[in-house]
Chain A
Amino acid sequence: MKNDLFEPDVIAGDEIALDSEQRIKVLSPSLLVAKRFFRNRLAIAGLVIISAMFLFSFVGGWVSPYGEDQVFMGYDVMSKDYAGVTVNKEYRYVEKQEGAMPSLLRANFILALNSGKTQFESNGLVYDIVGEGEEFYTVKQNGRELALVSKKIFDAKSAGTVFTYEFRYLAEKAMQPGADTQFEYRGKTFSVEADEGSTSIYTVDGAQKSLYAIVSDFIVNPVSDDVFLSLEFKAAIQNAVNNKKDTFVFTDAKGRQQEYTILRKDFQFFVKKQTSTRLIQIYEGPGKKHLLGTDANGMDLMTRLMYGGRISLIIGFIVILLENTIGVILGGLSGYFGKWLDNLLMRLVDIFNCIPHLPLLIIIGAVMDSMHVNPKTRIYYLMFILGFLYWPGTARMVRGQILSLREREFMTATEAAGLTVSRRIFKHLVPNVIPQLIVLATMGLGDIILMESTLSFLGLGVKFPYASWGNIISAVSNVYVMTNYWFVWIPAGMLILLTVLGFNFIGDGLRDAFDPKMKR
């Protein structure tokens, strides 16, 4: 220390007096404090850590290309149900007029058919069953045709085609073995060609044939309503099912090839398609796009950490400000005026000191949970409650300092000089308490950040969508996340540790620096 204070060059000149200004480098008390502070390596480390945290949280959130609660989506190929195929085992009815064959009639028809009758009675009327072919009947009453009954399923080529009773009748007649394969309907010629398992119906226009419909035992339905399955596709499915294939490739009208897999379950077949699906990217590992990966909601963790730091630091500073304002005013009043006021305020401090902080905060947090308090309002409440709980420590310290300072000569001097009370307190007493206050506040910042993160970890502090280091770590309540996704919680904990450690280092360094007895 000597070399700093005395400059050897000047000592050489012997006319200079001992206390000459040229000879002695004068340092103000605050400069001395700063000098002592900067000589403490831990304090410097703390300063660096805290500056880095501020940069990270406040500038980082602004630099980061992503938002605090931006959800990242990605595409992934997934096997999804596309269509269902069922083998038809039941008779289906095509009515000549709507409502011509109600369900009671249908039931009676089935009963009669199963017992081999060609007539049945219902509601006093007699109905005839006319066998038109294999598993193909018409129901008549008094010679009047009511409906056509068959097991065949007709699939049209174009959407919106309706198969009328007459068309079905003519088509199915033409499909019977040995029958004429051509028929006329409403001035158009149709021809029927049987394949294995299914039958195709073509419209014939001179020499040209074009596919009109397919008749089979399969019911093919798309899973979602907005998809119309083309006849070619249905034919491809039927072909694959008939040939007992597990997969088939279908080229659609636009020429795109797509592989489908078929899953068989009794008489049902599920056609699955490899579709690219939009998914939330959860727990994506660290990479170029997301430096620390993404969390359970598909949000960028690095950005969440930045915003979380912002909230933790802001909460810390506001609570400290609140706590110190209350503490300095009450402690100052108590220490300066003494007597009954001191007694009253100190008992108040005793009472507040006894109220357990964590349990009270947990209860209030749980109540806010059950009241569904808005997450933003919650943060304000949290700051207010923390400030209100932490003031007694400051008040007690300020009071103790002022009690001892009050008795010093300089205070007697201010009284003799006739200064007003407020001037004496705030100009002469409080500035002398400020060093201790700063030390206490710096250490207190760490405590508040710890308390806030503990509450957020328990889910009772800062809540989603707001990020906080504590609530980022709370993902570990899921053991799978804890084990497999270290990048979700380890960095957040490190940031809490570093920040609190930084504040403690600075506080420690400041305490040593402010202490005139320290010999360094």
Chain B
Amino acid sequence: MDGNLSKIKASRFPDEFGRFGKYGGRYVPEILMPAVTELTQEYEKVKNDLQFIKILAQLHSQYSGRPNPLTFADRLTAVTGGAKIYLKREDLNHTGAHKINNVLGQLLLAQRMGKTRIIAETGAGQHGVATATVAAKFGLDCHVYMGEVDTLRQRLNVFRMQYLGAEVIPVKTGSRTLKDAINEAIRDWVTNVKNTFYCIGSVVGMHPYPMIVRDFQSIIGQETRQQHQAAEGRLPDAVVACVGGGSNAMGMFYPFLDDKKVKLFGVEAGGRGNDEGEHAATLSLGEPGILHGMFTYMLQTEDGQVADVHSISAGLDYSGVGPEHSWLKDTGRACYTAVDDAQALEAMALLARTEGIIPALESAHAVALAVQLAGKMGREESLVICLSGRGDKDMESVFDLAQKGGADE
């Protein structure tokens, strides 16, 4: 089934078993089986429900500020001397990142399902803040699991969540980062499965989550298509997005999957080097395995234990990746490369000084690759960067690094 995308429509996946080629599936404790089955059924119902679609569209336009613009980055384009660079401005959404697209959809679904207690995991805190925000708006009870290491490097986001009325639970098991926060959220879900909705933050986990999150994030790519069409009279030649779990990338890629001429680039966190524990370049350096309910590329030890990861960006340091990305990699439909901490910091500064936009460190990884790519492309070509979030949350850690004089902690 893999490898032959010329004959099949890439956009029709996952199949009924939640598979993208051989990736995906449902590797979950038995206790969650009824919950994921119910979630799949309820999602299939609302997916084409005009009332649901209408309410979600209203929230997008009146609450989170969509459509956000596609900004032509003229000064950044001039720096590279190559392809025209456009920025899809997810940083301008309410709460400052693409995460709210997914949360609005999922919590609307939770309401439909009569679930009043919401749990979520968060890495950088962006998904946690988005969940706490929408939970406040909808009047839902919200609990966010966050690795203890992340609570320290993103303490302002911890306060934001608490200020919005959510409970933040620091996770002290394992490496105390995103993967452990997901484990704890799953344990909570296993325990409180009857009244609890797990609002997962990326295109990861067991079926149907990779599909649901992708669908709710696809508004990024849908708007980009229209906006680029309006600006250039055609589709872009390439789109570039950072990949941790991979939700902003999947949201950007999905509406372009069947347009084979649009090249898709995913950018992973190269961290400090290629040794185990020094990076989070799952697709570039990992191999397939089972993690968090899915079969997907993951970073693991030779004994099959989940490896530790590092990135300067708290939103990218995840040992796994969405299964659809694994499939897009194997089929060759998307290309994945890694950008290291220092390159990301440099790109962050470059975008700040040429365009007056401070990107999130996550998004800065995409900027770094896009600048390289644009330089090798013709001036008549164009590429779109998914600017997944704004960099305010990272100012404190960038300030600390500047004081120390380098990317090495």
Tell me whether A and B are bound partners.
no
Q: Which residues of A contact B (CB under 8 A)?
A: none
Q: Which residues of B contact A (CB under 8 A)?
A: none
